[in-house]
Amino acid sequence: MKKLFFTLVLALMAFVSNSFAQNLTSYSWASGIGFGLPEGMEIKTNTNEKFVATNNDDFAFSIVPVEFEKVKGRQLGKFVAELAFDNMGMDSTEGNYTIEEIQVTNGAGVYILGVDGDGTLCISAVFLSSVSNKGCFIFEAFSEEHAEEAGMVMGSVNFTE
């Protein structure tokens, strides 16, 4: 059942494109990193070091900058897995997660979809700009009802500088 759900979510995320981003409120954060959030998200933190928004405890979004030099030359899939498993509490049991590449405007990234210790769906991603030395780490935790929104948010990430 879990694999079927992951397959459906991944298919949904692959289908979601920037054309759906019109349903999102656009944000420009940390000197040229852009993304969109669904209506109703309450911003909890908005500094150059961290941006956090939630929606009634069933959809949470956070983004922090990643030092480009720490990631440069590393395999992004391995890097995002280390962050997700070691820092975010994502379940590292084989078959309980999947890692995929994602293309963004002026950059590229890798995301990992899985569950945390409580069974909450999670997406972690690292994005790197192709036009500057910028990077970011995004973590989303969400209920099944917010899977489409979570995919839309990941599909909206872009680098403007």
Q: Scan for tokens 């494109």, then name that residue.
A: 17
Cβ atoms of 56 and 44 closer than 8 Å: no
Helix (H), strand (E), coil (C) string for 102-131: EEEECEEEEEEEEEECCCCEEEEEEEEECC
Contact at 8 Å (CB) between 70 and 128? no
What is the reported pLDDT for 66? 80
Task: Kindly report the pTM of this predicted structure.
Answer: 0.79
- pLDDT recorded at residue 36: 92
| pLDDT at residue 25 tops 80 | yes
CA angle, 64 then 137 then 96, to 5°:
135
Q: What does the chain come to in residues?
A: 161
Whole-number pLDDT of residue 61: 93
pLDDT the model gives residue 101: 86
pLDDT band for 161, please (50, 70, 90 cuts): low
Q: Residue 106 CB: number of other CB atoms within 10 A?
A: 16
**Distance in angstroms between the alpha carbons of the first and the last residue of the chain:** 42
Mean per-residue pLDDT of the chain: 78
Q: 2-159 in CATH: which number?
A: 3.40.1000.10
The percent of residues in the chain predicted with pLDDT above 90, rounded, is: 15
The residue assigned the tokens 């084989």 is 94
| Per-residue confidence (pLDDT) for residue 42, from 0 to 100 | 93
Check pLDDT > 60 for residue 2: no
pLDDT of residue 51: 94
Cα 59 to chain center, whole Å? 12
Mind listing the pLDDT tens digit for each residue in 37-62? 998 899 999 998 999 999 877 899 99
pLDDT given at position 46: 93
Nearest Cα residue to 13 out of 158, 123, 138, 142: 123
The predicted-structure confidence for 95-127, as pLDDT tens digits, reads as follows: 888 888 887 777 888 888 888 766 678 888 878
- Where residue 19 falls among pLDDT bands split at 50, 70, 90? very low
Res 15 pLDDT > 60 = no
